[in-house]
Amino acid sequence: MLENSPKVVTLKDVAARAGLSLATVSYALRQHPKIPVETRELVAAAARELGYRPNPRVASLMAHIRGSQSRSHQERLAFVWVHTSRAEARQNPFLKLVFAGARERARQMGFVLEEFWTSDAGMTDQRLEQILRARGIVGVVLSPVTTAESAVTLGWDWRQFAPAVIGNITWMPELHHAGHHHFLAMRLALLELAKLGCKRPVALIEATVHERNKHAYVAGFLAHHPQAASARGLVRVASRGDATDLGPWLQAARPDALIVSHTDLLDLPGISEVVKKLRLPRVTLYWSKETPRGIGGIDQCQDRVAGHAVDLVAAQLNANETGAPDLPRIMLFPGRWVVPGAPGGKGVAARPAKGQ
């Protein structure tokens, strides 16, 4: 060893500084709920003072061992339903898929996922924080937000938690995210439509979606449309309550395919008539098993996205990291392509996006 090499700080050193057993320190640094919060904070302070850093290979090995063993006292992660009712969480197919993906990934990693709701009667941000801390829960997966808000905050002391968000909505403070890559999804849709011979697709994006994905769908459309010079006139951002001129716009655009952010836009005044008249292939950027037959598009694979949010939480726990990060990690995935059929047809063959 070189003379100037820094001394490696071990768990034994942290235990000596904190005046605790090696086992207690090990559990405390993993934020295990069996260790009181005060003891965990004492150990964390001792680790910071000594400059302790876990060995990432050992942490990875221990995470694998914890995930492969059946234990009576598995560590719990919180799945927090943000501004979502219990009824909606149980009935909404999209949300059910998300939770199933998160729960399965947590199970694979040796965690138990426990649900909490911010919108329960009498629940406040502070009350929910107290509940999680009392139960010794540090890892928190935050659900997608389906309301119209463009930014979300919870009045928590984030220093007590290792959080990650499912979705791309802005959080204050900003946290780690696993979400859908809207820009690359639009690019994928355009490339696949081109393979089907479509040279002049148009896109109709709902206004709320446009704002929440930070204009990424429109940006992808303008950047990758096969007719770049005329692309700006071939994409519209519209609200459901202000759609009176969409039929004439679609007719004048002379499209050979229609991309919509959600399939209910196909029922707006004038749209369905033009689609039937021109027999346009229909593509939705939110394709699911509930999408009407004949409509293709992008399957966002939200169960997989939710699983990656669990990975972000586990990575923080393994590294003894808590709090709002100064440089959030954002993992984005473009989804899979589902081939459209003619109106009223079948067309459900799926193709994975490259790199997934």
Q: What average pLDDT does the segment 185-194 reach?
A: 97
pLDDT over 70 (residue 348): no
Common-topology check for domains 76-180+303-333 and 182-301+336-352: yes
Contacts of 159 (CB under 8 A, 6+ apart): 322, 323
pLDDT at residue 161 greater than cutoff 70: yes
Instruction: Please give the pLDDT value at position 279.
Output: 87
Q: Residue 56: which pLDDT band, with cuts at 50, 70 and 90?
A: low
* H-helix segments, the chain: 11-18, 22-29, 37-50, 56-68, 86-91, 93-108, 125-134, 182-195, 207-212, 216-224, 246-253, 271-278, 302-318
Q: What are 49's two structure tokens?
A: 């003072």
For the cut 60, the answer to whether the pLDDT of residue 252 exceeds it is: yes
Q: Measured between alpha carbons, how far is residue 178 from residues 167, 231, 322 in Å?
A: 6, 30, 17
Average pLDDT, the chain: 87
297: left (phi over 0), alpha (psi -120 to 50) or beta: left
Q: Regarding predicted confidence, which is higher, 64 or 47?
A: 47
> What's at 179, amino acid-wise?
G
Domain ranges of the chain: 11-53, 76-180+303-333, 182-301+336-352
> 230 to each of 140, 192, 204, 215, 222, how far by Cα in Å?
46, 19, 15, 18, 9
Evaluated on CA atoms 224, 227, 229, 233, the torsion sign reads: negative
Q: Which fold has domain 182-301+336-352?
A: Rossmann fold (3.40.50)
The answer, yes or no, to whether residue 171 has pLDDT greater than 90, is: yes
| pLDDT confidence of residue 78 | 98
355, burial (CB in 10 Å: exposed 0-12, middle 13-18, buried 19+): exposed
pLDDT at 271: 87
**What pLDDT is recorded for position 351?**
46
**pLDDT on residue 356:** 36
Residue among 302, 299, 317 at smallest CA distance from 104: 302
Question: 3-state DSSP call for residue 43?
Answer: helix
* CA contacts within 13 A on the Cβ side of 156: 30
The predicted pLDDT at position 337 comes to 96
Superfamily of domain 76-180+303-333: Response regulator (3.40.50.2300)
